């Protein structure tokens, strides 16, 4: 096993110690592999149907098109061209293609349309005017697709409606069918080969940077290449749209792993944890794995993260000089409270705009802000594994517990659901919350030092400002956690007092900066509102009861916990807390005392908001908040079982695979089914 470990893990201090022949063999091998698998993939016949005006057509449209409409006669969707317009499929494949286009070439005043269908390379077809829809069959010549892109250009005269809608009308296009012919060139599109080569090289470099030896890095990358080529073979569209996005991810992942390889050990060391090289490799591998699964899904062509567009529109408000509308009480904070859930007379609840202020930096990047936000969310979420490992090791759990806990976070379905909802402020706010917790744990014993204390107070101020719900969670957690320490550990009261005073400074600072604007409204409207809802129910304020009865609430949680992959951890939670309490008693010299108190405080906050959730929908934030605790406790139980029964590793391995399968099923289903504004 030791020899196998040396073969799997690098024993070199620097990647540049590899001889140049190794680099040449790895790079040329992956490029040739990309060429080979794409050559095979592109020999498979490609077919696709594009329905104009339906939900899935925007990626194909270039130029001037009207919004989607539905014909009154046969209930079919279509779009009008409103100038020069193109329906394009990038990297569809070289060679000739057949096409069937269902369109209408007539204007309301019967003026000449003079429509022309242009395939490029001087391949054009003049379309006669007709007063009804017709299907045009055409052959796209091979010289028009030499780049691998298929493009159908439409030009025509335009008609301007003299009505209130004032539509500009060219040609009405209903449907486009494309199919590659049997005479397909052997070589795939050059750009497809370049993109897949960049993806494979980026993945291999990222794996290599984690600390895995080069044969494994190249082999894993080559295997992933097959997994990416198969979708291109079996469903050319939309997967050719995916390749440029994945190439960007590949480059980004190289930079991330290179940076994290330096930053993570430094931060861990600051918190009193020394990372062995192999442990760092495993943690970086877990990060890379989680990041790619989540980010690759986020940049899938049809993936819609539900709230992302809404949040980025608010970021555009700030860029347009409308920050005051979001900062002061008014329409912005009311817009996040649906009338059916809160009634017409909504309470005054601050909704922090500080994530949106931070997200204005996304405009500096050459990508759509929605795409940047989704990738950013994946990075932040994947980085939780380092925090979870840090928590476990800081409480003196063995290394195996920390790694099992970090891996547990990667396979829990609920973490994927958060990305489907597109609630990036929650992800970012929770990250600041856990960073604050990590600061307390790592700096414990030094929190009464002036520099450390002021740094912590500043961190708490930012954490409180970043996301309001997490600010409440964090404030309650610190009060419960530090109160229990002060009561049970007299020797630690000075440190607990330092945390509480820093928290008060953080509360004061965030109140001065932002929350103070809402105090009059909270006193006048919010307190009476919630007094009414908790005593008389939500119906008393004109809102719909989230769960009609406590039993309905229980059933809803039972279903959600099962779907989230947390039912067994939930059932084992009391037993796990009892076990850690016993371990704490048996090992008084360790920091298990701090870990057990922290976990009990986290559970208390989560249970408190479980009760509140019946009247104020939490959207499972209180469950997500508790995942690090579940991860560490489940890892602790697994470690105890493995010490006694080595064969239990098979059961736990299957359990992790089962959770991951649930996550992938939920992730792919949400990507395929969620529809909202692009």
Decide if pLDDT at 566 tops 60: yes
The share of the chain scoring above pLDDT 90, in percent, equals: 61
What confidence tier does 542 reach under pLDDT thresholds 50, 70, 90? low
Check residue 16 and give its pLDDT: 63
How many other CB atoms are there within 10 angstroms of residue 137's CB atom? 9
What the block records as the tokens of 618 is 């939490």
What confidence tier does 55 reach under pLDDT thresholds 50, 70, 90? confident
Check residue 563 and give its pLDDT: 82
Gap between the Cα atoms of 123 and 628, Å rounded: 60
Decide if pLDDT at 533 tops 80: no
Check residue 3 and give its pLDDT: 40
Residues ≥6 apart with Cβ < 8 Å to 666: 413, 416, 417, 563
Whether pTM exceeds 0.75: yes
Name which of 461, 492, 493, 489 is nearest 474 in CA terms.
461
Average pLDDT over residues 476-503: 94
What pLDDT digit, counting tens, does each position of 353-370 carry? Answer: 999 999 999 999 988 999
Check residue 4 and give its pLDDT: 40
Average pLDDT over residues 439-446: 94
Check residue 587 and give its pLDDT: 82
The CA dihedral of 66, 71, 75, 78, to the nearest 10 degrees, is -30
Check residue 575 and give its pLDDT: 93
What confidence tier does 548 reach under pLDDT thresholds 50, 70, 90? low
Report which listed range, 41-50, 323-332, 582-591, 614-623, is most confident: 41-50
Name which of 515, 550, 545 is nearest 533 in CA terms.
545
What confidence tier does 5 reach under pLDDT thresholds 50, 70, 90? very low
What confidence tier does 535 reach under pLDDT thresholds 50, 70, 90? confident
Decide if pLDDT at 674 tops 90: no
Average pLDDT over residues 452-463: 97
Decide if pLDDT at 33 tops 90: yes
pLDDT, averaged across the chain: 89
Report which listed range, 59-73, 574-588, 646-660, is most confident: 646-660
Q: Please tell me whether residue 591 adopts helix, strand or coil conformation.
A: coil
What confidence tier does 404 reach under pLDDT thresholds 50, 70, 90? very high
Q: Which of 15-24, 107-116, 492-501 has the lowest mean pLDDT?
A: 15-24
Average pLDDT over residues 414-436: 93
* Choice between 402 and 588, residue whose per-residue pLDDT is larger: 402
> Where do the DSSP E strands lie in 128-251?
134-140, 150-155, 159-160, 168-169, 172-180
Average pLDDT over residues 200-207: 95
Check residue 337 and give its pLDDT: 74
Which stretches within 489-522 are classed as H helix? 493-513, 519-521
Average pLDDT over residues 639-667: 93
Check residue 543 and give its pLDDT: 67
Average pLDDT over residues 179-196: 91
Delineate the domains of the chain, giving CATH numbers in brackets: 2-43+188-265 (no CATH), 47-180 (2.60.120.1320), 308-673 (no CATH)
What confidence tier does 9 reach under pLDDT thresholds 50, 70, 90? confident
Name which of 224, 252, 253, 249 is nearest 33 in CA terms.
224
Q: Are 18 and 27 in contact (CB under 8 A)?
A: no
Check residue 15 and give its pLDDT: 63
What pLDDT digit, counting tens, does each position of 76-111 carry? Answer: 899 999 989 999 999 999 999 999 999 999 888 888
Pairing of strands 172-180, 77-89: antiparallel
What confidence tier does 325 reach under pLDDT thresholds 50, 70, 90? confident
Average pLDDT over residues 559-573: 85
Decide if pLDDT at 538 tops 90: no
Average pLDDT over residues 227-253: 93
Decide if pLDDT at 2 tops 50: no
Q: Tokens 């005392």 map to which residue?
A: 593
Q: Which of 69-73, 265-269, 486-490, 512-516 has the lowest mean pLDDT?
A: 69-73
What confidence tier does 547 reach under pLDDT thresholds 50, 70, 90? low
Gap between the Cα atoms of 23 and 359, Å rounded: 39
Q: Are 369 and 312 in contact (CB under 8 A)?
A: yes
Q: Which of 43-52, 325-334, 647-656 has the lowest mean pLDDT?
A: 325-334
Check residue 13 and give its pLDDT: 53
């Amino acid at each position: 096993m030791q020899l196998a470990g040396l073969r799997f893990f690098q024993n070199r201090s620097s990647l540049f110690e590899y001889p140049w022949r190794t680099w040449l063999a790895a790079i040329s091998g992956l490029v040739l592999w990309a060429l080979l698998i794409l050559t095979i993939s592109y020999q498979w016949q490609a077919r696709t149907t594009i329905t104009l005006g339906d939900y899935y057509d925007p990626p194909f449209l270039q130029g001037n098109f009207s919004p989607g409409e539905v014909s009154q006669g046969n209930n079919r969707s279509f779009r009008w061209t409103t100038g020069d317009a193109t329906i394009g499929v990038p990297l569809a494949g070289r060679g000739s293609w057949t096409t069937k286009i269902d369109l209408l070439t007539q204007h309301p005043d019967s003026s000449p349309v003079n429509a022309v269908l242009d395939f490029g390379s001087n391949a054009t077809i003049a379309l006669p005017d007709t007063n009804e829809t017709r299907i045009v069959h055409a052959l796209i010549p091979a010289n028009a697709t030499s780049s691998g892109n298929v493009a159908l250009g439409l030009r025509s005269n335009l008609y301007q409606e003299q009505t209130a809608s004032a539509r500009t009308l060219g040609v009405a296009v209903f449907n486009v069918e494309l199919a590659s012919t049997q005479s397909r060139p052997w070589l795939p599109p050059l750009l497809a080969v370049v993109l897949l080569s960049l993806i494979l090289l980026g993945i291999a470099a990222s794996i290599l940077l984690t600390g895995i030896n080069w044969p494994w890095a190249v082999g894993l990358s080559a295997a992933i290449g097959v997994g990416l080529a198969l979708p291109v073979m079996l469903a050319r569209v939309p997967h050719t749209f995916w390749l440029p996005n994945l190439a960007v991810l590949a480059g980004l992942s190289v930079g991330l792993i290179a940076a994290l390889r330096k930053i993570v050990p430094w931060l861990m060391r600051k918190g009193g944890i020394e990372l062995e090289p192999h442990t760092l490799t495993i943690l970086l591998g877990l990060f890379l794995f989680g990041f790619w699964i989540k980010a690759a899904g986020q940049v899938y062509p049809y993936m819609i993260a539900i709230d992302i567009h809404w949040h980025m529109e608010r970021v555009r408000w700030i860029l347009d000089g409308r920050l005051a509308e979001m900062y002061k009480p008014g329409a912005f904070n009311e817009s996040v409270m649906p009338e059916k859930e809160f009634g017409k007379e909504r309470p005054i609840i601050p909704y922090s705009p500080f994530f949106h202020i931070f997200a204005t930096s996304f405009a500096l990047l050459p990508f759509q802000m929605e795409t940047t936000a989704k990738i950013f969310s994946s990075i932040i979420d994947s980085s939780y594994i380092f925090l979870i490992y840090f928590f476990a090791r800081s409480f003196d759990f063995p290394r195996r517990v920390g790694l099992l806990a970090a891996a547990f976070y990667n396979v829990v379905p609920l973490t994927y659901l958060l990305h489907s909802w597109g609630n990036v402020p929650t992800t970012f706010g929770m990250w600041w919350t856990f960073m604050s917790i990590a600061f307390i744990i790592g700096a414990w014993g030094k929190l009464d030092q002036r520099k450390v204390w002021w740094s912590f107070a500043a961190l708490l101020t930012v954490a409180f400002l970043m996301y309001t719900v997490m600010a409440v969670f964090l404030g309650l957690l610190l009060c419960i956690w530090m109160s229990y320490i002060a009561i049970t550990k007299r020797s630690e009261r000075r440190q607990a007092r330092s945390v509480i005073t820093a928290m008060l400074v953080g509360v004061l600072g965030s109140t001065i900066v932002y929350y103070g604007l809402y105090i009059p409204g909270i006193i006048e409207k919010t307190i009476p509102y919630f007094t009414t809802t908790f005593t008389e129910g939500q119906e008393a304020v004109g809102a719909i009861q989230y769960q009609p009865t406590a039993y309905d609430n229980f059933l809803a949680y039972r279903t959600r916990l099962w779907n989230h992959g947390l039912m067994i951890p939930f059932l084992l939670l009391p037993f796990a807390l009892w076990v850690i309490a016993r371990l704490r008693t048996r090992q008084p010299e360790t920091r298990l005392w701090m870990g057990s108190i922290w976990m009990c405080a986290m559970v208390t906050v989560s249970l408190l908001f479980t009760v509140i959730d019946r009247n104020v929908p939490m959207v499972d934030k209180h469950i997500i908040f508790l995942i690090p605790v579940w991860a560490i406790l489940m890892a602790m139980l697994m470690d105890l079982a493995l010490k006694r029964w080595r064969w239990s590793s098979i059961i736990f391995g299957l359990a992790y695979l089962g959770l991951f399968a649930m996550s992938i099923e939920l992730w792919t289903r949400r990507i395929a089914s969620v529809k909202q504004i692009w």
